[in-house]
Amino acid sequence: MASTTQEFGKWRSRLWPVHRFELKKLIPMVLLFFFILFNYTILRDTKDTLVVTAAKGSQVIPFLKLWAVLPCAILFMLLYAKLSNKLSKPVLFYTTVIPFIVFFGLFGTVLYPLRESLHPHAFCDWLQATLPTGAKGLIDVIRNWTFSLFYVMSELWGSMAISLLFWGFANDISKVSESRRFYTIFSMFANISLIISGTFIRWAATLREKITAADPWQVTLNYTMSMVVFAGLMVLGIYWWINKYVLTDKRFYDPSEQKADKKKKPKLSMKESFMYLIRSKYLGCIAILVMAYGISINLVEVTWKDSLHHQYPDYNDYQAFMGRFSQLTGYITILVTFFLGGNIVRRFGWGKTALITPVMLMVTGVGFFSFIIFGGSFQAMVQALGSTPLFIAVIFGTIQNIASKSSKYSFFDPTKEMAYIPLGQEEKVKGKAAIDVVGARLGKSGGSLIQQGLFFALNTAVVGVIAPYVAIILLGIIFVWIIAARSLNKQFLSLTAKREEEKSLEEAKEVEEAEPAAKVEAPAETASTT
């Protein structure tokens, strides 16, 4: 903090710790993150609208995450890690992004219009009559399989584009000194996309009031998927520009440093990339943080989305509310990031900043579940105010989710990504792929497995019935999360100090090697002058 203040001054170090020449690197990186997050927001809101409304409840989500998203995430990670050893980084980036753009373009124009012909309703009706009540969510996954596929691809976009491609790219081209100043700025400006995408979603969802189409949701979907394709093309264009005009500037990137680091370790096999999570205490702690967040947010969100569906059973009504939710999340996240995010990291350090998210989830989660479980006690009072317990539950859950997400974007993501920086190149690439793709899926799928077990144990498909048990499990998960964060803080400080010491020794060695050459040249210059 002191060095940053000396370099920029007190207020600038807090609000805008960036040199003018660094804008050439900062602006395109902000735009890259903007369009990635723009797509993420549209896809997140649309996937929830599709599967929850079609299944008439959020009980489908735990089954989707475990039986569809997790296997696909593992396959994607295996393929990505294999391709990372064969393709250059730019080609790997394009190869990863283009299939997503193609799929989302085809979904709105081909798969959704043909859904009634593609969905096996008769077979699923037979399954529902045969299997236990707790299996309804699994049957819904099969019944609306094109929606399930859309859900999987949208989830993978979040894991791949945000965690693996953007943050992996940022870690590759950023120094530790830059990351401390830039990462919260990335998040702050990129979260403007939440506001813009939320506004666009609300506009598209209200088009039904102005059109007479047989299926207003089809029109809404056409507009949203067109924007997803456009933003995807912008991601490709900006990435190309950065490689051509920014990474060729020695002030911002020195490829020799990456090549030298790669020579220190051989290429890792797939088995070794998984073993990093087991053998490395450092990576293991990061994995616990990612999985704990995934489990915690999944346990809370499924209950909230179920209440939301009952309040807004129509596709466009649900989508419009999700757009409003994204807008509010963007506004609050920007305010939190601007006034707290980077300043908290610089003032209080990595450890205390990393604890903000689990504490926030614990406090808001307890409040939300308390209202869900004991909401009946307030029914008379709520009705006297002209509202309903269901609507109050939706609002309370919305506040909880906005607080959790703003905390994630402002504190969890930046601190998690900073934790990768002191690692070697192989550990960054393979360890990050295993943690961010598989680790995140295991986290969310772990929450899904818990909920599925409760559905079958209680023989119910009603999310509200399992809420009391979910609340108790949530507190236990957050407790483990806090312990792992405290342990990782000690390791992060130690490893960062070690890297700085190694860098200082290398610089001192270079100076020593340069001195004899200077002494040899000095007599020659003297002789020539005489």
Q: For 311-377, what is the HEC assignment?
A: HCCCHHHHHHHHHHHHHHHHHHHHHHHHHHHHHHHHHHHHHHHHHHHHHHHHHHHHHHHHHHHHHHH
- Residue 441's contacts (CB-CB under 8 Å, 6 or more residues apart) are 65, 69, 70, 73, 74, 155, 159, 294
Homologous superfamily (CATH) for 18-252+264-504? MFS general substrate transporter like domains (1.20.1250.20)
Separation CA 423–CA 413 (nearest Å):
17
Buried b / exposed e along 71-85 (16+ C-beta atoms within 10 A): eebeebbbebbeebe
Query: What is the C-alpha separation between 59 and 136, in angstroms, rounded?
Result: 8
- Alpha-helical regions (H) of 144-263: 145-157, 167-173, 176-190, 192-205, 216-241, 255-263
In terms of Cβ atoms closer than 10 Å to its own Cβ (0-12, 13-18, 19+), residue 369 is buried
Do 474 and 365 form a contact (C-beta atoms < 8 A)?
Answer: yes
Q: What is the pLDDT of residue 440?
A: 63
Count of beta carbons in the 10 Å neighbourhood of residue 499? 15
Q: In terms of Cα–Cα distance, which of 318, 329, 395, 338 is closest to 196?
A: 329
Q: What is the pLDDT of residue 1?
A: 47
pLDDT at site 379: 75
Q: How much is the pTM?
A: 0.80
Question: How far apart, in whole angstroms, are the C-alpha atoms of residue 527 and residue 530?
Answer: 5
List the alpha helices (DSSP H) in 250-314. Answer: 255-263, 270-279, 281-311
Residues 49/319, Cβ–Cβ less than 8 Å: yes
The predicted pLDDT at position 14 comes to 61
- C-alpha 510/C-alpha 505 separation (Å) is 9
Q: Tell me how far apart the alpha carbons of residues 271 and 477 are, in angstroms, rounded to a whole number.
A: 28
Q: Are 455 and 466 in contact (CB under 8 A)?
A: yes
Task: Output the pLDDT for position 263.
Answer: 44
Contact of 180 with 4, CB cutoff 8 Å: yes
Low-confidence stretches of the chain (pLDDT beneath 70) = 1-17, 176-177, 179-180, 212-213, 249-250, 252-276, 337, 341-342, 436-438, 440-441, 444, 514-530
- Burial-class residue 374 by CB neighbours within 10 Å (0-12, 13-18, 19+): exposed
State the pLDDT at residue 339: 74
